[in-house]
Structure 1
Amino acid sequence: MLTTRVIVIAKSCPSRSEPGTSTITDPPNCAAILTNRSLQFKEDPDAWLMVDDILSRATYEQTKCLHPPWSSHGTSVKARIRNFVVQYILQCSNSEEALKTHRTLLNKLNLVLVSVLKQEWPHNWPTFINEIISACHSSLSVCENNMIILRLLSEEVFDYSAEQMTSTKTRNLKTTMCAEFSQIFQLCQEILNSADQPSLIKATLETLLRFCNWIPLGYIFETPLIETLRTRFLEVPEFRNITLQCLTEIGGLQTGGPGQMNSYDEQLVKMFTEVLTSISNIIPLDMDLKTTYPQSNSRDQEFIQNLALFLCNFYGMHLPLIENLPNRDFLTHGHFYLIRISQIDDREIFKICLDYWLKLVQELYEEMQSLPISDMTSMSLNVMGGGGAPNPALLTNYPLRKHKYNEVLSNLRVVMIEKMVRPEEVLIVENEEGEIVREFVKETDTVQLYKTIRECLVYLTHLNVIDTEQIMTEKLARQVDGSEWSWHNCNVLCWAIGSISLAMNEETEKRFLVTVIKDLLGLTEMKRGKDNKAVVASNIMYIVGQYPRFLKAHWKFLKTVDMACDTFIKIAKQCRRHFVALQPSENEPFIEEIIRNLGKITCDLTPQQVHTFYEACGYMVAAQGNRNQQERLLSELMAIPNAAWDEIIKQATINPAILQDADTIKIIGNIMKTNVSACSSIGPYFFPQIGRLYNDMLQMYAATSQLISEAVAREGEIATKMPKVRGLRTIKKEILKLIETFVDKAEDLQAVRTQMVPQLLDSVLVDYSRNVAGARDAEVLKAMTAMITKLSHLMEDQVPVIMENVFECTLDMINKDFSEFPEHRVEFFNLLRAINLHCFPALLKLDNRQFKFVIDSCLWASKHDNRDVETAGLNMCLELINNIAEKTDVQTSNAFFNQFFITILQDVFFVLTDQDHKAGFKTQSMLLMRLFYFISPADATQPKIQGPIYQPDQAQPGTSNREFLGNFVSTLLQNAFGNLTP
């Protein structure tokens, strides 16, 4: 019977050379057959008895790669399997030809052997190291494959063990491997000293690389290993990359401080100086790597990256050793290599160098700041006039480390300026109305890179402000004379100038900016072509927008220069009070002039620019301290959109069909967006405006919803994707967003509750529940969440009506799968969590059916593959059980935990042991801890749960919760993981 089953599996996918087997050997058919048969094979408890026949007789390679569970076998079977795997590996690697032919299978077999070792070694297989070392002497090919096995074992034990094995198991394996390492090291030395087969040498070096970070330091520093690596392999093209990686790993080791027994400072210095000498034979110090790198092959490019890692790693760990050498060349030459490498147009290589450069300049800056307080104060008073970088001339008499790096740092300033990236990432996207708009992205790789370069450049400015100013001024002069002119170079330089705002003292900054702006204005006049002028003009306003201190002292500059809306809003945030205050020699505050000319200013702007402009003006209106003046400014600011709104309301009253006109729909949407933008910056002072629009807005909400429903009735649910309906839905969303924005910033919460909430719920909730799924807006859920979060207990009496209208209909939208309506999912669970946090008593008033739905939803969310949904579900579950335990009477608490404790416990263990949900481990653990704490507090206080957590048929009457919980969890884990023992 065993033989029959072996033949069925082994011959399911015969060789392509066999006649008459075209359909069976076709890859899709073969894969399907293999999948079915392999499932049957894995379920067979005697499957391992067939392995030798399958591996020896199967002709389809993938048939040989099955993975039945190890723990299900007895000791004798495990021994047979282990011996078979070893013999089969030896058979497949007994010659060079076999090694190449069976490479794929060998890779799998090696992994299988390492998996077996993790289970059996050392307790059941204490002779493994001796056996593998002995086998290495049988042939070079076996030796090469054994090196790969040792590398994989090292990786599993020392690199990947955290999530694969228990800490005790990992500790035992590490201890054993260290104790038996001398034999392995002796083998490695023997190969490196005498072998001449490239593949064996490379496999040994790759294995050694994995050893370097954990083996006892004596093997590295008290043997000829480093010398062997440097003299025999570093300058050989075939081996220099892996060799330099080994030296990098060694250079990053923590060896102890001077005077300690385990300190190897002398050996480290010798290694670094000799390696750097060897590097100079490969790459001359004066080589232009920026030009050479793109023309190099991939191996040489990899070497450049490895060199960057070596230098950054060594300097990062042992820089003082090199700084204190009598010969400064090794310090400066190594750093000039990093300067050359930093100039290469490769972002990943640059980021490697940048991390080190930031660490270096930060240390040099902190040393400068550690000078005696009296000295620093004297510098500030004499030179800086109120903060900023000191004059470097005053620092020359102090024994600072930075003096050793003057030339390096000057070159580094040039690199950082030339490598500056765009301060903000702007995506061009299509909005719901089909318009192309800009969207700012807050966190991207480019934004993070900008922040790091900016930080580095600010430190460099503090270390020598005069050199920074001189370099920037000279590069600007080369823009003017045309020798370095390009849009890219101009942008990069101006981004760099803008990045060091406030790093200079006020007088230096004023002189520097006057020079910069004068040169850029001259460049604008000089350049021909609209595009060239636009590039320079935008950079002028970018720089000005970065220096609010300069703007406040030169107010008239704002009135004479056109600027982009993005710059205007940045300035409005920084200088808001100056816009509403009367400035010297002015007849009125600048805000008055802006609002008076509002129509002229905005007439040529795109809708998105208009929204940005209104948000900027909103910051100024909010800064007006006189309430009457503020309300007047608000009324005048909103006069244009209000006039358009009033006209549409008037026409719609006479002819409701106007709301179906595409242009009208777009205008209403933009009016709402303008209000949202203004409200976001004006905040609670927006109340007069929202009060003016509120009733008409809700009527507009109902009217547009009716139009959407009619379209869906005519066209079906596909209507929700049509442009006109999308426009109508935008109106609804923006109305909700305006209300949400105002509520979030409101201060008079009672007024919001009485004057806004009732009408809003009447208009929105019934509409939401009656709409088809595709026409329901997630913004409704978001608005309800904002209301409950802000108004808290004031909304308790409204929770039942909210739940009645949104709970089940939304749940029905999202419980079919894990993917449809993603926004509704996130907002639905955010709403439930907000109710639990802010209106908990209302949750307890739900009927049993609804309450159970809430708990089930919460647990279902914790298993979701959407991270936001999973987080909301876990947090709500944790907050809910805390509320039940802390804020309810004993009867309510006992009833809740009697019904739900075990359900929650099982679901927490489900996600806790699922690798797909390991991101939620912290909250899962906290949830589990609280459940255990409620049963048996470690602080010896009274348990929170007084009644039984089990049903009558689950335990004997009188069984304590602690005893039941211990037995239940033990049984649960043993059933789920058969390899566990009590």
Structure 2
Amino acid sequence: MAEKLLDFTTKEFDVEFLDKVVNSFFHGNYEEQTMADEILSEFQNHPESWHRVDAILENSKSQNTKFLALKILENAIKFRWKSILKEQREAIKDYVLSVVILTSKDEVLFRENSLLLQRLNGILVEILKHEWPHNWKDFIPDIITSSETSETVCENSMVLLRLLSEEIFDFSDGNMVQSKIYDLKQNLNKEFSEIWKLFEAIFQNSQNVSLINSSLRTLRVFLSWVPIGYILETQIIEYLSKKYLSNIETLNYSLKCIIEIASIEPEEGQYDGRLVFLFGQTMEMISQYIKSELEVENYYEKGNDDDREFIQNISLFITIFLRNHLQIVEKEKLLDEIVSSLRILIGVSTVNNIEIFKICLDFWYFLSKNLFDEKINSVSIINTSSLDLGSSFGGMGRGNNNNGMNNNNNRSERMNAYSEVLPDVRRLLIEKMAKPEEILIIENENGELIRERQKDTSNIILYKRMSKTLITLTHLDHKNMEQLMLERLLNEIRNQDWKWSRLNTVCWAIGSINGSMTEKQEKRFLIIALKELLDMCENKNGKDNKAVIASNIMYIVGQYPRFLRNHWNFLKTVLNKLFEFMEETHPGVQDMACDTFLKITHNCKKQFVKKHKNQNTLFVDEIIQRMPEITKLLQLRQKQVFYETMGEMIHVANYGIQEELISRLMVTANDRWKQIFEIAGTNVMSLKKPDICRELVFILRVNTRVASAVGKSFQKQLSFHYQEMIELYSTYSKLIFEYIEERGALVAKSEIIRNMRHVKSQIIILLQTFISKYDGNENFLLDDLIPPFLELILDDYKNNIPEAKEASILSLITIIVAKLKDQVSESIPLVFDSIFECTLLMIRENFEDYPDHRLNFFKLIREINRSCFVSMFLLDTDRFKLIVDCIVWAFKHTERNMSETGLYTTEELLDNINSNENILNDFYSGYYLILLTDIFSILTDTLHKSGFQIQYKILRTMFMLVKTEKITVYLDDNNSFTHKDNSNLILNSITELFLESFNNLTENQIHDFARQLFDNCENPDKFKTVLRDFLVIMKEFSGDDNSDLFSEEKNQELKQIESLELEKQLLGLKLQQEEDNLDPELQKDFDFF
């Protein structure tokens, strides 16, 4: 039965059967759906299936079948249009247009078939992208003429024009060649005057809300590119801000158009009056819906979706208009109107919608920064009154210094005006303050306190935005900010009905403005806030209450390092309080205490390693002495943070005492290490115990944390353990090997093997950390540290089964190469023997297995090429070829990180080769054509789109090498000399490659493409455009016409005409405005409205 659908030799087609198949696909059982899917996929993908579309649309009784037909037709137009005969293209064009007009002419059909018509409109636009303007010059006049026949046809014409504009101006990149995009833009611009008459006729005469809204939607899309005179020299502003803002049904569409106009920035002074009128009239109309800021939240909460959209549009209008045109409105002495609009914006900022709040927040930062810049500039001018520096200082706006006023008196008047609303902005941001990253204790939906397990990235970004805004607002008036924060804090502390959320936001706000006050102001402010919070923590009952208060105290003290550095006694008190919090087992409190300890130490570390008044010992000594007691209730991961913090302190101590401090810090860990080795000395099997493995991992991790903090001072501590670490690694390697040999490869995933491998991996990470942080004499690394361990780990990696190979070994070798560069060149052959072939066996079968080994392996190759390039030529030819193969394999991966690592390695390898003339010819004679083919293979593969920027750079480099004749040997492997020179060889190689891979392309197309690459390789932008255009063309099946390809000369010609055409348009517009009337003939045609 399925053969009936695929028989294209007969004109008859069983639409009823197709309806049954489609119905089975949507409503049948599993077997029926599977069979229907196979039939429909085969039918849909058949190159001749588009011939059945008219029969399906005319005879099918199923909407789903009709949609299938339209999808088939759309794909044929998108990808096979040029391969379809011209007569057939004309027939398709006429058919689609007739169906669109027929469906849209009748009101009932128009409404009932809206989804079908939407798809037909999209198909018509696809045809236009191929045919207009050259093969369909009258499309715009035709559509305008057809719009005269009925309002529904006119409404659909607006939809078509909107879709066309979006396709050309918004969605064209990557879907059309650049010359075609340019051509379409120019022609739409050229014919816009006729479209504009259609807009004016509709706005002047129509009462049909659906048509008006469709027209407004289309106008909004056009506003971003039409000549500005059409917008600001016509009555369109009056229509939008008066006629349509006053109608609740057209309100939102009209306001969206006004927002687009607000985004336009004309030349200074050109249209100031019209923009001021637009602002005033729009705000007047908004005030008819919302009388004051107090009504906004209620309007939003009780309103429908349209009402909520209206509030969002208000936020966009006010923020965009004032951001772009603040100076213009201020210049007209309309500060009161601005302040009124800002009060409305404050109300909008309170609604429960995070996206609206972000829109408002960005504007509050802009305004506060603008005022702050003016304040700074004013002070600068006063302090340099003998110089005329007024023009040297600008606001924060875009172009022409639009957002500030230059007269000091005006500045004062301006600042006073805005001071009416800024306190409310401060209060608003304090009340809505986002949670900082440092806060780990959160309230869940059940009102319970829990530890946050995953960071909310979007919330962190919001906090940073709000902090930046509050800091700027504090600079403008620190007294007001201090007063508002302390009032809110004290109200919560003294309120019996206090809420965690309210206390949190004010404390987060207090912490967020660090650095915005003078030391004196900061001291007064913090002493009051922290004293009240500490008293509250003492006086409030309940562990949850104390945990919330403690989290806020820790956050605030961590935010003010300057205050802590300047007040040692207070700093010491704070740390002792943190040590108390480390004994509090409420979820999150200990984590925050440890993190805050690290943060404070990072900013105040020098205070702990110097003697203070009335202090006999360094505070770092005191903490080390108290460590067992302080950390007794901490979990292992928290203790690691504590050790890292102590390492931070020790790192800034006098170098002569650092080793001693490290030794004292590590006493407990070192003692336990000795005990474990003493036990293992009598019973090596004790090392397999899970608790022993966990302890060893912990000891190694705290060593790693300290090594990371102190750098080369860790050398003595590492040397103390180094031989035992080598023995431990070797012992675990033997135990793992024996265990797997006895029980088989599957046990590699067992818990006992995982535990032992964890210890091995941690030893490698410790060495990796130490080497990367070491800044001492490199002979220690070369002679003492690396040799005994390198041979061990390479042998371990080579001989282990894949499941037990340590990926971190590859990372360690990468670090060694990056650190010591050419000094380890002689070791690279040994590394190659131990690592390359066995790793390739693990990763060559697919792109997924062993992802850690895979990525680390590719990073190692990149580092060898980057830091130790000379070592690659110590390898024989086969091994060098293996490296190149690995690089190619890397960039063929679909996982972005791996693919880009391979591409960057390729780019850097070519740079290294090109800088060395002695090896350049030998390398390219063997690898040029191979690399060219492989780069083109991923360039044309949609799975590798993200790597385009690097792919094009590599290709450009390769074409430049041939064009500039830097390669002086012939690149033909067979030395056949059939192509005369390398340029012709590459041209023919590319042609053969693409003809073999893409049967939809012609030889002329590919040859032209390759020639364009050579012609434009010296111009990066043009080279990139040639590639992008070809990626569009290669999706299509082409006939003989390739006029759309590579039309650089045509583009240049069009650009020369462009300015003349624009002048004609603007002159015509001016003359039209002088007449101040709609064309009489067009007016007569639109009498039906």
Match in the other structure for 1:825:
854
Distance in 2, matches of 1:346 and 1:23, equals: 44
The answer for the alignment partner of 1:419 in structure 2 is: 432
Alpha-carbon shift at residue 906 of structure 1 (Å): 2.5
1:682 to 694, 706, 710: 710
The yes-or-no answer on 1:853 pairing with 2:859 is no
Q: What's 1:751 paired with?
A: 780
2:910 corresponds in structure 1 to 881
- Determine if the alignment matches structure 1 residue 900 to structure 2 residue 905: no
2:515 is aligned with 1:509:
no
Inter-partner Cα distance in structure 2 for 1:240 and 1:788: 66
1:583 counterpart (609, 612, 617): 612
Q: What residue number does 1:569 align with?
A: 598
Structure 1 residues 166 and 249, CA, compared in 2 at 3 Å: closer, same or farther? same
Q: Does 1:447 align with 2:460?
A: yes
Q: Name the amino acid aligned to 1:962.
A: S
Code of the aligned partner of 2:120:
L
Q: Aligned pair in 2 of structure 1 residues 397, 324: CA closer, same or farther (>3 Å)?
A: closer
State the alpha-carbon separation in 2 of the partners of residues 463 and 315 from structure 1. 20
Shift of 1:710: 4.6
Q: Does 1:78 align with 2:89?
A: yes
Q: Residue 275 of structure 2: which of 252, 268, 273 is its match? A: 268
Residue 150 of structure 1 corresponds to 161
Deviations 1:475-509 (CA, angstroms, capped at 9, x unpaired): 11112212773222222222221222221111111
Change (3 A) 1:105 1:292: closer
Q: Quick one: distance in 1 between partners of 2:439 and 2:741?
A: 39
The question of 1:227 aligning with 2:242 is answered: no
| 1:63 alignment counterpart | 68
User: Superposed, which structure 2 residues align to 1:454-469 within 5 Å?
Assistant: 454-469=467-482
Per-residue deviation, 1:581: 0.7
- Report the CA distance between 1:688 and its aligned residue: 0.9
After TM superposition, give the deviation of residue 813 of structure 1 in Å: 2.7
Conserved in 1, the CA contact under 8 Å of 2:148 and 2:154? Answer: yes
SS at structure 2 position matched to 1:93: helix
Q: C-alpha separation between the residues in 2 aligned to 1:653 and 1:770? A: 26
Distance in 2 between residues matched to 1:8 and 1:948, nearest whole Å:
61
Whether 1:53 aligns to 2:81 is: no
CA distance in 2, matches of 1:845, 1:472: 68
Same amino acid, percent of matched pairs = 35
Report the CA distance between 1:140 and its aligned residue: 3.0
How many positions carry a matched residue from both structures? Answer: 940
- Residue aligning to 1:482: 495
C-alpha distance in structure 1 between counterparts of 2:473 and 2:336, whole Å: 22
Among 532, 546, 552, the alignment partner of 1:539 is 552
The alpha carbon displacement at 1:292 in A equals 4.9
Rounded Cα–Cα distance in structure 2 between residues aligned with 1:968 and 1:550: 70
Q: Deviations over 1:541-574 (max 9, x none)?
A: 2212211121122212233332111111111111
Q: Which moved more, 1:782-791 or 1:77-86?
A: 77-86
Query: Structure 1 counterpart of 2:549, which letter?
Result: V
> Which residue of 2 is the match for residue 108 of structure 1?
119
Is structure 2 residue 687 aligned with structure 1 residue 666? no
Of residues 86-95 and 548-557 in structure 1, the stretch that sits farther from structure 2 once superposed is 86-95
Could you report, residue by residue, the CA deviation over 1:448-493 in whole angstroms, capped at 9, with x for unpaired residues?
A: 2222211111111111111111111111111221277322222222
Alpha carbons 2:511, 2:556 under 8 Å: kept? yes
1:317 is matched with which residue: 316, 320, 324? 324
911-920 or 738-747: bigger deviation: 911-920
Output the amino acid matched with 2:416: H
- What is the distance in 2 between the residues matched to 1:739 and 1:5? 77
**Residue 805 of structure 1 corresponds to which residue in structure 2?**
834
Does 2:968 match 1:946?
A: yes
Question: Judging changes above 3 Å, is the alpha-carbon distance between structure 1 residues 416 and 427 closer, same or farther for their aligned structure 2 residues?
Answer: closer
Sort the Cα spacing of 1:754 and 1:681 in 2 relative to 1 into closer, same or farther, 3 A.
same
2: distance between equivalents of 1:655 and 1:836? Answer: 46
Q: Is residue 965 of structure 1 aligned with residue 986 of structure 2? A: yes
Counterpart of 2:418 in structure 1: which amino acid?
Answer: Y
The 1:552–1:76 alpha-carbon spacing in structure 2 relative to 1, beyond 3 Å, is same
| Residue in 2 that maps onto 1:432 | none
Q: Contact 1:425–1:447 (CA<8 Å) still a contact in 2?
A: no
Seen in structure 2, the aligned counterparts of structure 1 residues 955 and 490 have a Cα distance that, compared at 3 Å, is farther
List per-residue Cα deviations over 1:291-336 (Å, max 9, x = no partner): 5534432222222111111111111111112223334331011111
Instruction: Give the alignment's TM-score, normalised by structure 1.
Output: 0.90
Q: Please tell me the residue identity of whatever aligns with 1:531.
A: D
Change (3 A) 1:239 1:715: farther
Matching residue of 2:791: 762
Distance 1:700 1:61, change over 3 A: farther
Q: Deviations over 1:94-144 (max 9, x none)?
A: 323333443333322222221221111111111000111122233333322
Quote the residue 2:35 is aligned against.
29
| Preserved contact between residue 13 and residue 30 of structure 1 (Cα < 8 Å) | no
Deviation at 1:273, TM superposition (A): 0.9
Q: CA deviation at 1:622?
A: 0.9
Residues 175-184 or 325-334, more deviating: 325-334
- Aligned-pair CA distance for 1:157: 0.9
Query: Larger deviation: 674-683 or 291-300?
Result: 291-300
Whether 1:816 and 2:845 are equivalent positions in the alignment is yes
Q: 1:423 to 1:717 in 2, by over 3 A?
A: farther
Q: Is the 8 Å Cα contact of residues 293 and 348 (structure 2) preserved in structure 1?
A: no
For the residues of structure 1 that align with 2:137 and 2:926, how far apart are their CA atoms? 51
Contact 1:793 1:839 in 2 (8 A): yes
Question: 1:23 and 1:546 mapped to 2: Cα distance?
Answer: 63
Aligned partners of 1:813, 1:126: CA distance in 2, in Å?
61
Alignment RMSD, CA only? 2.8
Name the counterpart of 2:310. 303
1:258-288: per-residue Cα shift (whole Å, max 9, x none)? 1xxxx22211111111111111111221334
Residue 633 of structure 1 pairs with residue 639 of structure 2: no
User: Structure 1 residues 38, 178: CA separation in 2 closer, same or farther (over 3 Å shift)?
Assistant: same
Structure with the larger RCO, 1 or 2 (CA within 8 Å, 6+ apart): 2
Give the residue type in structure 2 aligned to 1:316: R
Report if the CA contact (8 A) 2:693-2:755 is conserved.
yes
C-alpha deviation, 1:788, in angstroms: 0.9
In structure 2, the residue matched to 1:352 is 359
Does the Cα contact within 8 Å between 2:22 and 2:36 map onto a contact in 1?
Answer: no
Secondary structure at the counterpart of residue 944 of structure 1: coil
Residue 246 (structure 1) aligned to one of 246, 257, 265 = 257
2:642 is matched with which residue? 613
What is the distance in 2 between the residues matched to 1:880 and 1:857?
13
Letter in 2 for 1:694: Y
Correspondence list, 1:706-745, <5 A: 706-713=734-741, 717-745=745-773
SS of equivalent residue, structure 2 residue 577: coil
Taking the aligned partners of 1:298 and 1:717, their CA distance within structure 2 comes to 61
- Out of 586, 590, 593, the residue aligned to residue 622 of structure 2 is 593
More moved, 641-650 vs 401-410: 401-410
Question: Is residue 788–residue 834 contact of structure 1 (8 Å, CA) maintained in 2?
Answer: yes
TM-score relative to the length of structure 2? 0.82
Q: 2:938 aligns with which of 889, 911, 915?
A: 911
Answering whether residue 145 of structure 2 is matched by residue 134 of structure 1, we say yes
Residues 775-806 of structure 1, C-alpha deviations (whole Å, 9 max, x = no match): 33322211111111111112211212222222
Contact 1:178 1:215 in 2 (8 A): yes
The answer to whether the 8 A contact 1:342-1:353 is kept is yes
Q: Distance in 2 between matches of 1:210 and 1:397?
A: 38
Aligned counterparts of 1:438 and 1:724: Cα–Cα separation in 2: 31
The SS at the match of 2:612 is: coil
1:342 paired to 2:360: no
Moved more, 307-316 or 846-855: 846-855
Aligned partner of 1:81: which letter?
Answer: I
Rounded to whole Å, the distance in 2 between the matches of 1:34 and 1:356 is: 53
Match of 2:401 in 1: none
Aligned to 1:391: none
SS at match of 2:378: coil
Q: Deviations over 1:516-552 (max 9, x none)?
A: 1111122222311122122212322221221112112
Q: Distance in 2 between matches of 1:99 and 1:483?
A: 64
TM superposition shift of 1:76: 2.9
Q: Where does residue 387 of structure 1 map in the other structure?
A: none
